[in-house]
Amino acid sequence: MTNKNGVIGLTLVLALISVYYLSFTFVSRNIKGKAETYATGADGKVDVSKKQHYIDSLWREDVYLGQTLQEVMERELSLGLDLQGGMHVVLEVSPVDILKGMAGGNARSAAFQQALKKAGEDKKASNSTFINLFVKAFKEAAPNTSLASVFANSANRGKINSTSSDSDVIKMLNTEVDSSIERALQITQARIDKFGVTNPNIQRLPGKNQILVELPGVDNPERVRRLLSGAAKLEFSEVYLTNELASGLDQLGKYLSKQAEIEKASAKTTATTTAAAATDTTKKTGLSGLAAQLEQKGADSTQTDSSALAAQSAALTNLFVPMPQGLGVYMKDTARANEILARPEVRSFFPADLVFMWDRKGMDGANNQLILPLYFIKKSNGQAAMEGDVIVDANHDYDDRGRPEVTMRMNGEGARKWKTLTARSIGRPVAIIIDNLVYTAPTVQGEIPNGNSSITGNFTVEETKDMSNVLKAGKLPAPTHIVEEAVVGSTLGAEAISQGVWSSLVGLVIVLVFMVAYYSKAGWIADLALFINLFFLLGIMASLGAVLTLSGIAGIVLTIGTAVDANVLIYEGIKIEIEEGKPYKQAVVDGFKNSLSAIIDSNVTTFLTGIILYVFGTGLVLGFATTLLIGLVTSFFTAVFITRLILEKQSEAGHVFKFYSGLTKNWFKDNNFDFISQRRRFYVISTIVIIIGIGSFIFKGFGLGIDFKGGRSYIVRFEQSVETDDLRAAMDEVLGAPTEIKTYGGFDQVKITTPYLIEDVTPEADKQAEAKILEGAAKLKGNPAKIVSYSKVGPTMAFDTMISAVYAVLLALAVNFVYIFIRFRRLAFSYGAVVSLFHDVIILLAVYSLFNGWLPFSLDIDQAFIGGILTMIGYSMNDTIVIYDRIRDYMNENKSKGESLSTVINNALNSTLSRTAVTGISVILVLLVLMVFGGVVLRGFTFCMLLGVIVGTYSSLFVSAPIVVDLLQKDNAREALKMATDEVAQPAASGKKLKA
């Protein structure tokens, strides 16, 4: 290896990066463990509020390498919802409300209402945008009416007018819908920040008017639904200045001092003991302040209450921090401040129309503590001076000094109110409030008579863009509807962690033992490379902020398989070189060199499939794809570079490896299976299976998961075993419609799927459906039940998912077809591979149709199945590419030998049989472990991959390669015929003579 130093350097860099980023995970887990210990009562139950209190006390404290706990937790390797519980929601911004708002009074016309209704119905079975469907429906309902006549009004002035073309109006509508989604994203972000979830994931889904929200650890779904649904409330209010509240603030200060004295007196008897214990705790734990006192609380329950009261009383008089706009409170103390400000005696200190409101974001204070500003808002009878429905437009701009600013324009009514409000607020701030959070409170410079205003200040461009989006939310109230939802209980998450980790470890151990058993001492080098690979994989995931999910664990398992495959290709290549009589050192070099092409091709095809999984997948499939893509890169690096580095170092030290054990020495040696001559027999077998499968498609159909058909799905756990027939009868009676019920992971747990109220997008419908499920379960007397997981997919979302799945499979086939043609330059290879893949997909579909309802786990066609299909395509292509690579080598060598094409390809298949078997056995063993021990969540997904590996291996040997033989023979026959024709024609042409 000519670049040894470069490989060593890169390995050290990757190792340091991995250690650095993974260390945050260990620190975070350690602190969370201490928080749980502190919050665990005598009964063994964890008090969630106490646990959060502990974490909040350290949130802005330096805990590791100068990083606060907040920064540490943001950098840890996060767990997905399926591993820790929480809530997954897909919000859809309602284009109906947007169009109504833009049409104004014209929205009441019969043609407009008819077009909205038809577009809504068509959207359930169409991948087109709602705007396009609406325009088409409107033109059918009012063919002679221009769109400008509907949407050209004062609200849209400056964008279109009465003479604008339909295409201009459509462009404007699409732009407004897109900006509405961005505004909804900003509002959703603000609401989630207010909710206080650690490491939320909020993003817009590409190409859709949908927003993905993932909230780890959330255990109150109803509250989240209320928080995320509906339009934002925008308000403009006057603000009290601190000098106007001097008397009230003075009384508040006296009240706090008095309360501090009372609490101090109650804690006086234990003050000395508490101080000594706290000092001891600080020495032991390295923590200080409130965190140390909380540690002491967990250690000595007899001193807990007095110790905490002493800490609180000491900080009570310093709870509020003076700020220019009023007061501020340290972020960790906001709950305490809210409780005090809500007390009736404290409210009596201030005017009746005063409302306390927090700023939307904090600012850094002393000792790196985050301070949240508190405003004194004036609301008469609870009503703001103005609301956001008067805003016509808002944009980010620059003032005459080049500073970022926000401009806004109001309608006539708003202009009149704004003139009055600004006239009485000159030199005073006016708060712009959304969802009861103050976004900004600019000082009014003068009366604004025409409703056109600018807001300036120390803003960045990003802040002015965000603020203009918030202001425009008042113009277009665009409610968001939940079209997909999943709730995973913390209990189910804890079980998933245990099952996933243990199954992965068992699978890893089996592979490690198998490699040593097959390759003897060389197997230890492969095992070391495998450990390094997994270390790099987790380190890179942590550095990229990736989330480890249960399906990600499945991706790690498959990564183990790909890493084994690369090492097997290398080892088998070295064995061939040694058998040809080359010296050991040269055999190692040539073995790596000759296997590199197959390794690259097989990894590229799997990587391309992984990209398609990543682009089109969500949830389980996306987590799997993320891990697989990173794993492919680390597997390639460790197998090709690190394994080679170790082998060459050992070779230089005089160590020689045999690459086989006493048990496996003669395995696959001199094998001469005749694959090609029997190809028609296997064609017949495959055809029979496919015909049976197609018959099952027609007469039995498939079990569609809610991903593809829509509906609500509940995982319900009973205290005792339950008969599904009895539960089905009870549910049918309660829900008034047939209900699908399947055992899920055990006889005491079932999965209930129903279309009940799926068209209703309100939070009340979710609550009603859940109550009905519990009512049906209660009919089984003496067997209490609880819902541990829940998911919902609306009809529109289900159709979009189905279309995306079809596109993903077709794109995977097309991409692999093109890549194989580029690499092998013969269409026969591309046709053989794609026909083989079609064969594999149809057989998997046949199995899922034929055996649906017969196996003790779900065989529904859903996103997990599509992920399994695409994984199977990647694995099958990996296998096929290795065989094709050997076929190409043998065909090039055969040009001087003159052997028949069947013989050449048969020899190539036999030469790769050891690699096919070793890799296949390794992957199958790991998948079997994952299927048996990995838990019910992954069982169907793993079964699809397991079946795919078996079918893919079969098709590579008995379908793909034989098809290449048949097609190449036809190509050779055509070429031979053409050459013969040319030879016959040439003499006749040359024999002609020109006569005078």
For the stretch 526-549, pLDDT in tens is 888 888 988 998 899 888 877 777
Residue 526 lies in a domain: yes
| CATH label of the domain that carries residue 460 | 3.30.1360.200
Tokens representing 195 are 């909710």
Q: 827 and 687 share a domain? A: yes
Q: Report which DSSP code applies to 713.
A: E
> 287: pLDDT confidence band, cut at 50, 70 and 90?
very low
Domain edge (last residue) among 14, 43, 76: 76
Q: 807 and 789 share a domain? A: no
Q: Would you state the pLDDT for residue 888?
A: 83
Mean pLDDT calculated for residue range 848-876 = 76
Q: 540 and 464 share a domain? A: no
Q: Where are the beta strands (DSSP E) in 45-116?
A: 62-64, 67-68, 78-79, 86-93
H or E stretch covering 433: strand 430-434
Q: 144 and 227 share a domain? A: yes
Across the chain, what does the average pLDDT equal?
78
Residue 995 lies in a domain: no
Residue 899 lies in a domain: yes
* pLDDT of 552 over the 80 cut: no
Mean pLDDT calculated for residue range 926-952 = 78
Query: CB within 8 A of 899, min separation 6: which ones?
Result: 907
pLDDT tens-digit readout, 400-435:
888 888 888 888 888 999 999 999 999 899 998 877
Number of alpha helices (DSSP H) and beta strands (DSSP E) in the chain: 35, 24
Question: CA-to-CA distance for 95 and 351, rounded, in angstroms?
Answer: 42
Residue 963 lies in a domain: yes
Question: CA-to-CA distance for 197 and 215, rounded, in angstroms?
Answer: 7
The 3-state DSSP class for residue 17 equals: helix
Question: CA-to-CA distance for 919 and 668, rounded, in angstroms?
Answer: 14
Tokens representing 602 are 């097989």
Residue 349 lies in a domain: no
H or E stretch covering 150: helix 148-151
Smallest CA-to-CA distance from 95 within 121, 131, 122 is with 131
Tokens representing 543 are 């550095």
> 279: pLDDT confidence band, cut at 50, 70 and 90?
very low
Q: Would you state the pLDDT for residue 366?
A: 64
677-680's contacts with Cβ under 8 Å and 24+ in sequence apart are 677/902, 677/906, 678/958, 679/958, 679/962, 679/965, 679/966
Q: 61 and 100 share a domain? A: no
Question: CA-to-CA distance for 397 and 540, rounded, in angstroms?
Answer: 40
Question: CA-to-CA distance for 347 and 909, rounded, in angstroms?
Answer: 85
Q: Would you state the pLDDT for residue 470?
A: 67
pLDDT tens-digit readout, 495-528:
666 666 777 777 778 888 888 888 888 888 888 8
665-671's contacts with Cβ under 8 Å and 24+ in sequence apart are 667/914, 668/913, 668/914, 668/917, 671/910, 671/913
Q: Report which DSSP code applies to 957.
A: I
Domain edge (last residue) among 772, 793, 814: 793
Query: What are the CA-CA distances from residue 288 to residues 57, 61, 217, 314, 378 (Å)?
Result: 10, 10, 27, 15, 40
Order of strands, sheet of 452-455, starting from the edge strand that comes earlier in the sequence? 391-398, 404-410, 452-455
% of the chain at pLDDT higher than 70: 81
| Total number of domains constituting the chain | 5
- The DSSP line for 826-885 is -HHHHHHHHHHHHHHHHHHHHHHHHSTTTSSS---BSHHHHHHHHHHHHHHHHHHHHHHH
More confident residue, 494 or 715: 715
More confident residue, 809 or 65: 65
Question: CA-to-CA distance for 128 and 134, rounded, in angstroms?
Answer: 10
Q: 564 and 644 share a domain? A: yes
% of the chain at pLDDT higher than 90: 4
Domain edge (last residue) among 426, 452, 476: 476
Q: What are phi and psi of 988, to 5 degrees?
A: -65, -40
Residue 313 lies in a domain: no
> 304: pLDDT confidence band, cut at 50, 70 and 90?
very low
36-42's contacts with Cβ under 8 Å and 24+ in sequence apart are 37/298, 38/294, 38/295, 38/297, 38/298, 39/298, 40/298, 42/301
Q: 914 and 786 share a domain? A: no
Tokens representing 290 are 């409130």
pLDDT tens-digit readout, 215-259:
776 766 766 776 676 556 778 899 998 888 888 888 888 888 888
Q: Would you state the pLDDT for residue 632?
A: 87
Q: 828 and 926 share a domain? A: yes
Q: Would you state the pLDDT for residue 263?
A: 66
Question: CA-to-CA distance for 426 and 440, rounded, in angstroms?
Answer: 16
722-731's contacts with Cβ under 8 Å and 24+ in sequence apart are 722/747, 722/748, 722/750, 722/780, 722/783, 724/750, 726/780, 727/752, 727/776, 727/777, 727/780, 730/776, 730/777, 730/779, 730/780, 731/773, 731/776
State in Å, rounded, how far the first CA of the chain is from the last one. 74
Residue 566 lies in a domain: yes
Cα-Cα-Cα-Cα torsion 156, 157, 160, 161, nearest 10 degrees, comes to 120
Q: 747 and 690 share a domain? A: no
Which pTM was predicted?
A: 0.65
Q: Report which DSSP code applies to 233.
A: -
Check if the beta carbon of residue 310 is closer than 8 Å to that of residue 297. Answer: no
> 294: pLDDT confidence band, cut at 50, 70 and 90?
very low
Q: 19 and 50 share a domain? A: yes
Tokens representing 728 are 């089905």
Q: 48 and 106 share a domain? A: no
Residues β-bridged to residue 355: 377
Q: Would you state the pLDDT for residue 522?
A: 84
* pLDDT of 673 over the 60 cut: yes
pLDDT tens-digit readout, 796-810:
666 666 677 777 778
- Maximum Cα–Cα distance across the chain: 137
Q: Would you state the pLDDT for residue 306?
A: 40
Provide the domain limits for residue 217: 90-231+480-485
Q: 500 and 628 share a domain? A: yes
How would you classify the pairing of strands 430-434 and 437-440? antiparallel
Question: CA-to-CA distance for 195 and 187, rounded, in angstroms?
Answer: 12
The letter for the amino acid at 884 is: Y
Question: CA-to-CA distance for 466 and 183, rounded, in angstroms?
Answer: 8
> 270: pLDDT confidence band, cut at 50, 70 and 90?
very low
Residue 69 lies in a domain: yes
